[in-house]
Structure 1
Amino acid sequence: MRIANTHMPLVTVIIPAYNHEHFVRECLNSVEKQTYSNLELLIINDGSVDDSNRIIEEWIVVQKRQWVRLKYIQQENQGLTATLNSAIIWAEGKYISPIASDDILCEDKIELLVKVLEDKGASHAVAFGNAMFIDESGRAISKEILDSKGNILDRHTLFLNYYAYGRNLAWSNPAVFGSYCSLLSGNYLPAMSCIINTEAIKSVGGWTAKNTVEDWELWLKLAKNYKFILVDKVVALYRWHDNNTSKTKRERILRDSIWLLEKEREYAMKSKLHRFFFPLYLYNLKRLREVNPREAFVKSLRLLKDWEFYYYCLSKIKQKLIV
């Protein structure tokens, strides 16, 4: 049993649980084993229809850690973003540590990240570590980087290394890591490996309902006003299984990615970030063409009326002429 150290800030661990009966106990055990003592735990069962509820209730009865507060909420399914927005209202911690109910925290995750955020002060809203990929059995795996023809270019076992691959992104540079322009060209940050200042989340309005790229949206919002910091160490395990790559989920993520970029367009253009915005937007339109050619055609027509797009094209032409 750990006695809470009230000299350190309270951290709320948030677990949105949904149909992870095979993984939720391991997730909960990893939270219980945290070396950081001043913790509250908020578990929200978002309408699971499997055996998750029984497993969570059994775990609550037998676990022996002393929490500042332990709250278990059962609700009808509302979706992840609605659940997270509710959790922010209920959370009492200065920081939150969100973790999906199929992922795992390393024992020192919260202790490490709280220390660096406290040292940095109010200018920094989020601290990250890296995450390692694991399979359904909890074994470390590597994810393949493929070219357009399906040839293997590289393999990576770590989240940041995998998602930043090929982007000419110096993410280990503190000036680059978590910057708005680096995030405008795509998300590469592991949500399971972070802690976030609770008031900072509230100040940017939390998450948009039903959005499937909720992490990316939050990072973009926060990056306009705050800095992020990286601890170059694995602090969580990210489980990769069939549901991560379902066709329906990929299409929803694609459409929400386009929606988010369109939402960020005005700010990006005012900030003269054309070279970060348009390459990803055009790439997503190309992917949308494979799913819905008509929808992609309509969006492409709008680009032809967009003076900012012409500005981007002219800058690319000038760049090639100079080279």
Structure 2
Amino acid sequence: MKKSKQALVSIIIPCYNHEKFVQDSIKSVIAQTYKNIELIIIDDGSKDSSIEKIKEMAPLCEQRFTRFEFRHRSNKGLSATLNEALEWSYGEYLCSLASDDIMLENRIDDQVKLLNNKKIVAVFGSVYLIDEENQNIGEERIVKSHLYDFKSIILNECQIFSPTQMIRSEHLKKVGGYKDGLIIEDWYMWLKLAEIGDLLVVPDFFAKYRQHDNNTIKKLDKMHRGRLDVLSFFKDSPYYEKALRNVYWLNCLELAAKSNYEIKYLLHLFLIDPKRFIIDFFKKTYILKKLFLSKILKLAN
């Protein structure tokens, strides 16, 4: 491995069936102004031509990076792939980049400087939203500067974008890596990291977050079950009951206007604690209450 005065940054790209996007992701890492980078790509059993697309980029990667590694094997899932790459990495800091997302060229430089504060275990930023053709879709997700602790994260009182993450590798390894079998592996990881120190978010733009039909975020019921799975590991937390209610309300808001499906979540909240439900309900937005009541009347008829 080449020696450098800069801290080594490990960038992990887990790839699965992203033949159309993976080269753009790799190119965005190659374009980083920060020099001392190792790039680790693992193809998790893609059934398209992702492997061939990655191999085409190998000569440039070997020339550009302090260390470049690529492997492909049968499908094991995202968390297993991330953990495999984590064990394979040597960097002081680690970024995982989805194989359909893009880094902005100053990202690594800027984040390494922010992590000079030893009390911060991870740093995140703002994102541009892009479509399948790499075009901005006219929306931005801008965060305000904030330090988030465990309480704010478990209660979903935070705004953190996974495509912008940079984490201290030692802490990521200390908490055991990514939890296998979870759909929302990043929320679980942020909670575990927040037990060690604070997570910093800044308004700087660090990534372009691709929106398309296969985004997990668009599979709302799957996301709901994923949130409940994560919370199941924190039942001993004094914030668990409130966090559970917040998850049900969050999913009601996401599902509102799409179907009658959110009714079951609201009824579940009511059965858990009728008094608390009434208090929470009247704190929520007028539009949610209007949608809920109109659908209850529709079902009654």
Task: Compute the TM-score of the two structures, normalised by the length of structure 1.
Answer: 0.75
CA spacing shift, 1:131–1:56, aligned 2, 3 Å: same
**1:167-186 counterparts in 2 under 5 A?**
171-172=144-145, 174=146, 177-186=147-156
Aligned equivalent of 2:220: 250
Cα distance in 2, alignment partners of residues 298 and 26 from structure 1: 43
Does residue 137 (structure 1) correspond to residue 119 (structure 2)? The answer is: no
Q: Secondary structure at the match of 2:159?
A: coil
Find the partner of 1:226 among 194, 197, 203: 197
Write the letter of the residue equivalent to 1:204: V
Q: Deviations over 1:50-93 (max 9, x none)?
A: 11111100111345633221000101011111111111111110
In the TM superposition, residue 315 of structure 1 has moved relative to its aligned partner by: 9.3
Deviations 1:231-274 (A, max 9, x none): 32111100001111686x322211110122233232134xxx76
Give, in whole Å, the separation in 2 of the partners of 1:209 and 1:313.
33
The code of the aligned residue for 1:210 comes to G
Distance 1:256 1:69, change over 3 A: same
- The CA deviation at 1:200 is 0.5
Amino acid of the structure 1 residue aligned with 2:26:
L
CA contact (8 A) 1:17 1:100 kept: yes
Question: 211, 216, 235: which is aligned to 1:240?
Answer: 211
Letter in 2 for 1:43: I
Match for residue 83 of structure 2?
85
Supply the AA of the counterpart residue of 2:128.
M
**1:220 shift after superposition:** 1.1
Separation of aligned partners in 2, 1:245 and 1:70 = 29
> Does the 8 Å CA contact 1:5/1:37 hold for their aligned counterparts?
no
Aligned-partner residue type, residue 262 of structure 1: S
Following superposition, the deviation at residue 115 of structure 1 comes to 1.1
The whole-number CA distance in structure 2 between the counterparts of 1:108 and 1:229 is 18
Secondary structure in structure 1 of the residue aligned to 2:65: coil
SS at match of 2:235: helix
Contact conserved, 2:248 with 2:269, CA < 8 A, in 1? no
Residue equivalent to 2:167: 196
| Contact persistence 2:228–2:244 (CA under 8 A) | no
The separation in 2 between residues aligned to 1:283 and 1:38, in whole angstroms, is 44
In the alignment, is the contact (CA less than 8 A) between 1:160 and 1:190 conserved in 2?
Answer: no
- Partner-residue secondary structure (3-state), 1:211: coil
Q: Output the amino acid matched with 1:185.
A: L
CA contact (8 A) 1:131 1:158 kept: yes
1:277 aligns with 2:247: no
What secondary structure does 1:268 align onto? coil
Q: Which sections of structure 2, spanning at least 5 residues, go unmatched?
A: 284-301
Cα distance in 2 for partners of 1:251, 1:313 equals 21
Shift in Å at residue 284 of structure 1? 5.8
Quote how far apart the aligned CAs of 1:197 are.
0.6
Aligned-pair RMSD on alpha carbons? Answer: 3.1
**Once the 2 structures are TM-superposed, how far is the Cα of residue 103 of structure 1 from its aligned partner?**
0.5
| Inter-partner Cα distance in structure 1 for 2:4 and 2:74 | 35
Q: Partner residue of 1:158?
A: 140
Query: Cα gap change, 1:140/1:208 in structure 2, threshold over 3 Å: closer, same or farther?
Result: same
Query: Given the alignment, which residue of 104, 110, 114 partners 1:116?
Result: 114
Aligned to 1:104: 102
State the identity %: 31
Does the CA-based 8 Å contact 2:220-2:251 persist in structure 1? no
Q: How far off its partner does 1:45 sit? A: 0.4
**Alpha carbons of structure 1 residues 252 and 22: separation in structure 2 relative to 1, 3 Å:** same
Aligned to 1:29: 27
| Gap change, CA 1:256 and 1:246, over 3 Å in 2 | closer
- TM-score normalized with structure 2 length: 0.80
